[in-house]
């Protein structure tokens, strides 16, 4: 259970940050970063997702280790799905 007035301040700070990051990702997409455009877009998205998870979903501070384990394992298995599929697609000789 989240704290008191301090947590309210946190919520608004995170909210502002998320909005700024949304602007930032649009801005970054409109300048030419070469191959890094996609990387930047995904990094910003991941930062935003992490902020939501940590502060809005209260992974930080209030929740137990088990919750973190669930999150990590979901991401791990997602990574397996994407990564091992790519082990095929990125090494095919014929496409």
Q: Which helix (H) or strand (E) holds 43?
A: helix 36-51
Rounded-to-integer distance, Cα 83 and Cα 75, Å: 12
Taking CB under 8 A as the rule, does residue 6 contact other proteins? no
- Assess 66 for contact with other proteins (CB under 8 A): yes
Per-residue binding string, other proteins, 22-61, x by CB under 8 A, is xx-xx--xxxxx---xx--xx-xx--xx--xx-xxx----
85 binds other proteins (CB under 8 A): yes
57 Cβ neighbours under 8 A, 6+ residues apart? none
Query: Can residue 87 be called a binding residue for other proteins (CB under 8 A)?
Result: yes
Shortest Cβ 50–other proteins spacing (Å): 9
Does 12 participate in binding other proteins (rule CB under 8 A)? yes
Alpha-carbon distance 57 to 75, whole Å?
16
């Amino acid at each position: 259970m989240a704290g008191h007035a301090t947590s309210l301040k946190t919520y608004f700070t995170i909210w502002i940050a998320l909005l700024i990051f949304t602007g930032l990702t649009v801005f970054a997409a409109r300048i030419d970063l070469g191959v890094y455009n996609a990387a930047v877009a995904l990094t910003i998205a991941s930062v935003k997702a992490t902020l939501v998870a940590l502060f809005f979903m209260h992974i930080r501070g209030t929740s137990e280790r088990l919750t973190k384990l669930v999150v990590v394992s979901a991401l791990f298995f997602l990574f397996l799905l994407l990564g091992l599929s790519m082990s095929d697609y990125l090494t095919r000789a014929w496409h």
